[in-house]
Amino acid sequence: MKVLLIAHACQVRAEGQQRAQRLGALPGVDLRVLVPDRWSEYGKWRAPQPPENPSYAFQVGKVRFPWAGPAQWYFHHYPALAKTLREFKPDIIDIWEEPWGLVSVQACRLRDRIRPSAKIVAETEANINRIHPFPFTTFRRYTLRHADYAVTRQTEGISVLRAHGYKGPAKFVGNGVDAALFRPMDREACKQALGLKGFVVGYVGRMIEAKGLMDAVEALAACPADVNLLFIGAGVFQPDLERRIAQLGLGERAKFLPPRPMEALPEAMNAMDALLLVSRTTPTWKEQFGRVIIEAQACGTPVIGSDSGGIPEVVGRGGIIVPEANPEALAGAIGKLRDNPGYARELGRLGLEQVKERYTWERIAEQMRDIYLELTGEREAAPV
């Protein structure tokens, strides 16, 4: 079974290449991955990282309009995609891009013209019913009309697809985590390595208001004195957090660390007694998956999450869910874990168990392979 995976995420070894490596290693999968020769991610240009000992063919294609950001990169496409389809002759074309992007329309149109027997898998992160401006609504409608299968990052994303006219089979397939890298370590040793003490709750990611970070600061003020807050990341909201921390006199209990490379994150996740992801829903965004959740759970660290978007579904049985924009409830959840070490350890165990069941890159690859087999008729269709 020949699979063409079109994905700018596969430019990076620590991101999409993890999924590609596991997928290409599965029996019966002949995988080719097409990535752009250049990409702008949050304003920073990056080039493809050649994979190490790949189990798949890695193809770097010249791309037009490779900008990232709101409604900018949706025009990117590959001038030589037709040639790739003629030469590779895929049975499956997996478009790991949004369906309202021009590259999705391009792949569908070329499939119909060059390789009509190939099946299209459309993937989306979207979990909010937004009406995009022209031509993106037209792009999405076209892609969803031609897709043979749809994959979302949370169950509610399927409802969004249905609202936009998609009638075919669909499935929730989450993000994945490298379980060999993210694993339980000695928590006290990790705390010492980062200069931390007491009961540590932490956040990893972009410092933006929508992540509910001010709620974490306000909750800290209501927690016992041995509770400390760790922020790892960078962003425009950090000065606001620092000012509020100073106003509340919490400077000794809050620590900021700059962004860390992927290989350094397991130590940070293990230094936390709980990870916080208490995002706030906005009119145009709500948390889609929250990969830091499964990274923390893979380390045996319980998670306190808000009820925004896909957070409750991903946290599952490995943490506590609180109402978004509710510092009092957040402080209560932190106190519950601090005062009940056995309960915290049990949540950590359940989260780790859940990751092994659903969210390792191996499991994600197997789920995608099963979808491909279903489309090619080599596996019985699963209930939608």
pLDDT tens for residues 21-63? 999 999 999 999 999 999 988 778 999 999 999 999 999 999 9
Say whether pLDDT at 380 is over 60.
no
Looking at this protein, which amino acid is placed at residue 263?
Answer: E
Q: Do residues 147 and 168 touch, judged by C-beta distance below 8 A?
A: yes
Say whether pLDDT at 383 is over 50.
no
Q: Which domains are seen in the chain, by residue range?
A: 2-176+360-375 (3.40.50.2000), 187-358 (3.40.50.2000)
DSSP string, 250-268: -GGGEEEE----GGGHHHH
Q: Do residues 362 and 368 touch, judged by C-beta distance below 8 A?
A: no
- Kindly state the average pLDDT of the residues 101-122: 98
Summary mean pLDDT of the chain: 95
What are the residues facing 59 on neighbouring strands? 34
- Kindly state the average pLDDT of the residues 257-277: 97
HSE of 159, CA atoms in CB hemisphere, 13 A: 8
Confidence of residue 68 (pLDDT cuts 50, 70, 90): low
pLDDT tens for residues 210-252? 999 999 999 999 999 999 999 999 999 999 999 999 999 999 9
pTM reported for the whole predicted model: 0.93
What are the residues facing 275 on neighbouring strands? 202, 303
pLDDT tens for residues 123-149? 999 999 888 888 999 999 999 999 999
